[in-house]
Amino acid sequence: MYQAFLIKYGEIGIKGKNRYLFEDALVKQIRHALKPVEGEFKVSKEQGRIYVACPQDYDYDDAVEALQRVFGIVGICPTVCVEDEGFDKLAQDVLAYMDDVYPDKNMSFKVCARRARKNYPMDSMEINAKMGHRILEAYPQLHVDVHNPQIMLTIEVREKIYIYSEIIPGPGGMPVGTNGKCMLLLSGGIDSPVAGYMVAKRGVKIDAVYFHAPPYTSERAKQKVVDLASQVAKYSGPVYLYVVNFTDIQLYIYDKCPHDELTIIMRRYMMRIAEELARKNEALGLITGESIGQVASQTVQSLAATNEVCTMPVFRPLIAFDKQDIIDIAEKIGTFETSIQPYEDCCTIFVAKHPVTKPSIPVIKRSEKKLEEKIEEMVAQAIETAECVIVS
């Protein structure tokens, strides 16, 4: 019965003279999200509103699910759209709507009319009063509650008239692409996909880098990361995933450096490589899934040692989250079940038995001097041979 969706947005509405840029970006993301849904949807802007006109035959659930993954949407209103053929015809359409949507009539309601087309012969208050009267006449089981109604029946009078009463929550945030691009360090764990999702929610386009260590990590571990990138891409749009062969660098560090410093030194070289790939792809920052104190490499001292090699900003949206907070989001966005598959990544394979938890940057730099003979060449080779997989 629904011929359209009215799309409600939040922060975009306070963007002043730049508001149209954010609206256009949101329209673009809605069109992209609806492409896999069968049928031809038409997305349009009209006087501070975004409408999705639906084809005659479409899958309602698929359409709603697709819209619920578009950052920037705070509400999705399934709408009946009718032509203006006078108030009596509108009242018939409203009564039919109430009968279809609310078979149990023992509820409270309020009519909220909005008259964007000022040549309509009634103002909003008149529409509210007369339509409320018609509804009560037809369905005496209903009763009016203007303060806390169970049904908020909205009638928007524009070129056409839109009738709706349900607001399905959207993900909120900002349309992807309105706040630049960043490079996500994506592992096979629970945290990094959630970090990518959260930064994408603020309008940031996401690329990703994964450090692969064959034969110590399997092709299945790599596929697991591709699957995680695919889940993130449902919200962020297509992700360019760079797969870096990290085996030789890890073995070289393992051979030359103190084992309690392995994790920190490996992380520092991962950050160097990720930053160089980010520069090549015009990304403006790095994203990690680190949370203070979660593991030895995520103490404040360890994070400071890792940050020291970067000139780009490093965004850590999970920094103050505990594990359950992160798991809750992972379950919501559909990455948790993939993340817990038992395929090890390179970080867990080469972890030291007793890693340093309070590394000293000068000490770490002295240890890295033992790598000077080959490390720059190995890093350049890893960057040059990185495989790019486009995940959507």
In the chain, how long is the greatest CA-to-CA distance? 88
* Count of all residues that appear for the chain in the document: 392
Question: Is 211 marked within a binding site?
Answer: yes
- For residue 319, list its beta bridge partners: none
Q: In the chain, where does DSSP find H-type helix?
A: 19-34, 60-67, 87-101, 124-138, 191-200, 219-236, 247-256, 262-280, 300-307, 323-333, 336-339, 346-349, 361-368, 375-384
Q: Is 177 left (phi over 0), alpha (psi -120 to 50) or beta?
A: left
Structure tokens at 32: 């992209």
Q: Is residue 185 part of an annotated ligand binding site?
A: yes
Alpha carbons 324 and 187: distance in angstroms, whole number: 18
For 100, phi and psi rounded to 5 degrees?
-70, -45
Q: Computed from CA positions of residues 257, 258, 259, 264, in that sequence, does the dihedral angle turn out positive or negative?
A: negative
**289 marked as part of a ligand binding site:** yes
Task: Give, to the nearest 10 degrees, the angle between helix 361-368 and helix 262-280.
Answer: 80
E strands in 106-204: 108-115, 143-144, 151-157, 161-164, 168-169, 181-185
Binding residues: 185-186, 210-211, 267, 289, 298
Binding residues for ATP: 185-186, 210-211, 267, 289, 298
